[in-house]
Amino acid sequence: MNDSKDPNDIMEERASPFRTDIVVNDRHTLLADEPSKVGGSDLGPSPYELLLSALGSCTVMTLRMYADRRRLPLEGVSVKLSHDKVHQKDCEECLASAASSANTNKSPIFDRIQRDISLEGSELTDEDRTKLLEIADKCPVHRTLEQGQVVIVSTLV
């Protein structure tokens, strides 16, 4: 996986209130927008949908690399993701995560991402499936999100 240090150019497009054109490494163009229910034109995925897409694609790529290297009979992978804001008291996983991490966030609200992974391959054993689920948690985007130690430095240019 490419951990490119090249900057991504994000440009606001005034034709729609929230439409944003994204140019990645001068090679790839994406479009983001907000849904109409919050005032956008729904011309592209929302920022949270892009975040989930990054996690989902990284998960698929990580599982494919692992399966290919181990010569596992993995025929396909699909990932479905959803994001919610949940109260800490309503989320056992959130409580366990907060207790085991160095996260000092005392907010009673957590961001919870549900990731449902479907593995295709009739010859995959239960052991293969268990190991692949473990490997999914090692995808670089998952690690970045779960570490809770991302530092964002903003400057005006």
Give the model confidence (pLDDT) of 8-17 as tens digits.
Answer: 777 766 778 8
Give the tens place of pLDDT for each residue, 45-55. 999 999 999 99
Give the tens place of pLDDT for each residue, 139-152. 999 999 998 778 88
Is the predicted pLDDT of residue 31 greater than 80, yes or no? Answer: yes
| Mean pLDDT (the chain, rounded) | 86
**Residue 89: band (very low, low, confident or very high) from pLDDT cuts 50, 70, 90:** low
Burial 104-139 (b: 16+ CB within 10 A, else e): eeeeeebeebebebebebeebeeebeebbeebbeeb
Q: What is the pLDDT of residue 72?
A: 98
**Non-local CB neighbours of 90 within 8 Å, separated by 6+ positions:** none
Average confidence (pLDDT) over 4-24: 77
pTM value is 0.81
87/108 Cα distance (integer angstroms): 6
Say which residue, 133 or 7, is predicted with more confidence: 133
Q: What is the pLDDT of residue 119?
A: 98
Q: What is the pLDDT of residue 9?
A: 75
